[in-house]
Structures are given as C-alpha cells and as structure tokens.
C-alpha cells in the first residue's frame, strides 16, 4: 500500500494521478495534509502539485470523458467530503484505464458514488442561487455572505455574473474564508480579514442609508403574504433548512 499525501486541491489530485502512473503504483490511497500515522508496511509519497502534470492528466480525461463528465468530476471534488478522495482517485483511474466512456456505468462503485456526490453538490448550488440575499454597501458594492455545506462558490460564478451583470457584487463564503468579486467585467477570488467577533457589525456599519429601509420592507412583505392558518413548518424547513436562515433577510 502506498499513501499519496497531497494538498487537497483539484490540481493536486490530478498531479497525484500523474504520480500513480509515473511510478506504476497499484494499491494506493490518498491523504490530505500531513501524514500522521500508518501501518508498518505503508509507503508514503508526498505529491508536489505541478500545474504542467495536472494539465496533462486533465487533457487525457477530456479524451476519456465528455465535457459534462469532467465538470461532474470537478463538482465532486468541490464537495470536500472527508474520506472521499479515494473514490475520486478510483473514478479517474477507472476512466483512464477503460477503453470506453464509463460515465453511465453505474454498476461500478466509483461511478455510482461520484454521481451521488454530484447530486448533493448540485442541490446545494441551486439552494445558494435561490437563497443568497445581497446587501448594498456605501461604496455601491452588493455583498452577500454564505456558509454552504459544500464548496460551491466556484459553481455560482456563471449564474450571478449573468443575472447581475450591471452591478458590482461580492459573495463571501464565511466557512472557507474566501469569496468571488465581480467588478462589472470580470470575477476574481478574494480573501477578507474579518474580525470574528465583529464580522456582522462591520457589514451592518457599511450599509447604505436606505439598505435598512429595504430590508424592513422586504420583511413586511413576507409577513403580509403569510397565511397563519396554512402554516406548515415541516414543509417550510424541508425547502429552506434552518442552517440558511441566518443569512436570509426575511428570517433575521
């Protein structure tokens, strides 16, 4: 058994795949970060992320998989589910070693698991597209905070860039401490230095004068359309889980 230690990035994953074939490794497993312990007979190989090697593997995958298949693999990686690295590796090796496209081979455990993960990631992506609430700041920027279960931020760029092309906006993932910023032309990934205790206070202090008024109107609208006799809390929570509520204006 050879343990490949990599940095957890998509490029790192592809570099690990390159090393598997370059060193003709058979029985391997992936591990993110520092390797702490293992069996007596474990061999360890530290994977140094290399853009050129990763690009070569990605080029091969584009020949073995459809465009959608490559996108699904990337989405599954963004799930960042502990212990799933080896399923990603297994899927990639199966795709490379097979003479035919394996995307519909649901009898294979790796294909099936990747499909399940992608379904979860897509569900979270769609929820973010529906639940994100922007707040206008004094500099004209529209800001939204999110804390999704999966790292779906890269998957949101196309939707919001198209829908809000005429305004500057930023969506920030508080859990992973990075965001995407759109400047009316392009998007870029950014990080912010939030003081943990003053995060919300800092944002509220930067509101425009009419932001609180619009939030108040939005809350009143939801109250006015609510029909108390038809309230179904279980159904409501099923569609809008409570973990999203703290970032929804109508729920604050």
- Give the largest Cα separation in the chain, rounded: 67
Are 139 and 231 in the same domain?
yes
Are 77 and 138 in the same domain?
no
What pLDDT is attached to residue 64? 97
Q: Are 138 and 208 in contact (CB under 8 A)?
A: yes
Are 16 and 115 in the same domain?
yes
6-31 burial, b if ≥16 CB within 10 A, otherwise e? beeebbbbbbbbbbbeeeeeeebebb
For the CA atoms of 191, 183, 210, 224, what is the dihedral angle to 10 degrees? Answer: -90
Are 118 and 136 in the same domain?
no
What pLDDT is attached to residue 202? 54
Are 68 and 114 in the same domain?
yes
Q: How confident is the model at residue 196 (pLDDT cuts 50, 70, 90)?
A: low
* Dist CA 198 CA 203 (whole Å): 9
Are 138 and 246 in the same domain?
yes
Domain interval for residue 27: 2-123
Whether residue 5 has pLDDT greater than 70: yes
Q: Are 45 and 23 in contact (CB under 8 A)?
A: yes
Sheet harboring 169-173: ordered strands across?
135-136, 142-146, 169-173, 178-182, 187-190
**CA–CA distances in Å: residue 157 to residues 102, 170, 174:** 29, 10, 17
**pLDDT tens across 213-246, in order?**
555 554 554 566 566 666 656 654 666 666 665 6
Q: How confident is the model at residue 43 (pLDDT cuts 50, 70, 90)?
A: confident
| Higher-confidence position of 42 and 212 | 42
- Which residue, of 123, 143, 171, is where some domain finishes? 123
**CA–CA distances in Å: residue 66 to residues 63, 109, 156:** 7, 19, 21
Percent of the chain exceeding pLDDT 70 equals 73
Phi, psi for residue 207 in degrees, rounded to 5: -60, 150
What pLDDT is attached to residue 197? 47
Phi, psi for residue 144 in degrees, rounded to 5: -140, 135
Are 198 and 217 in the same domain?
yes
Q: In terms of DSSP H, where are the helices of the chain?
A: 10-22, 51-64, 67-78, 85-97, 109-131, 153-163, 199-205, 211-225, 233-239
Whether residue 165 has pLDDT greater than 90: yes
Q: How confident is the model at residue 203 (pLDDT cuts 50, 70, 90)?
A: low
Total of domains in the chain: 2
Are 105 and 176 in the same domain?
no
| Higher-confidence position of 176 and 214 | 176
What pLDDT is attached to residue 221? 46
Q: How confident is the model at residue 96 (pLDDT cuts 50, 70, 90)?
A: very high
Nearest to 50 by CA among 4, 6, 15: 15
User: Tokens 């995307």 correspond to what residue?
Assistant: 103
Highest mean pLDDT among 37-41, 114-118, 235-239: 114-118
Are 141 and 119 in the same domain?
no
What pLDDT is attached to residue 1? 84
Whether residue 84 has pLDDT greater than 60: yes
Long-range contacts of range 40-46, CB-CB < 8 Å, 24 or more positions apart?
41/1, 42/1, 42/2, 42/3, 43/1, 43/2, 43/3, 44/2, 44/3, 44/5, 45/2, 45/3, 45/4, 45/5, 45/19, 46/5
For residues 180-198, average pLDDT: 82
- Which residue, of 96, 123, 150, is where some domain finishes? 123
For the chain, what is the mean pLDDT? 84
Whether residue 90 has pLDDT greater than 60: yes
The region of weakest confidence among 146-150, 202-206, 239-243 is 202-206
Are 58 and 141 in the same domain?
no
Are 78 and 54 in the same domain?
yes
- Which residue, of 74, 90, 123, is where some domain finishes? 123
Are 11 and 115 in the same domain?
yes
């Amino acid at each position: 058994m050879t343990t490949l230690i990599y940095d957890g990035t998509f490029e790192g994953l592809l570099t690990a795949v390159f090393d598997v074939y370059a060193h003709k490794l058979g029985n391997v497993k992936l591990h993110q970060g520092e390797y702490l312990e293992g069996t007596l007979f474990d061999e360890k190989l530290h994977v140094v992320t290399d853009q050129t090697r990763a690009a070569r593997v990605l080029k091969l995958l584009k020949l073995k998989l459809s465009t959608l298949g490559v996108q699904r693999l990337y989405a599954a990686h963004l799930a960042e589910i502990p212990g799933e690295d080896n399923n990603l590796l297994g899927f990639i090796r199966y795709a490379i070693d097979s003479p035919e496209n394996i995307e519909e081979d649901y009898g294979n455990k790796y294909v099936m698991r990747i499909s399940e993960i992608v379904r979860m990631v897509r569900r979270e992506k769609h929820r973010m597209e529906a639940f994100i609430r922007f707040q206008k700041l004094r500099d004209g920027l529209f800001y939204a905070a999110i804390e999704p279960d999966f790292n779906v931020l890269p998957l949101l760029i196309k939707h919001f860039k198209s829908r809000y092309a005429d305004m500057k906006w930023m969506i920030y993932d508080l859990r992973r401490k990075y965001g995407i910023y759109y400047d009316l032309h392009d998007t870029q990934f950014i990080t912010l230095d939030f003081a943990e205790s003053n995060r919300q206070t800092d944002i509220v202090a930067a509101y425009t004068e009419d932001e609180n008024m619009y939030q108040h109107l939005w809350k009143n609208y939801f109250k006015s359309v609510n029909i108390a006799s038809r309230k179904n809390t279980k159904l409501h929570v099923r569609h809008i889980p409570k973990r999203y509520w703290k970032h929804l204006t109508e729920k604050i």
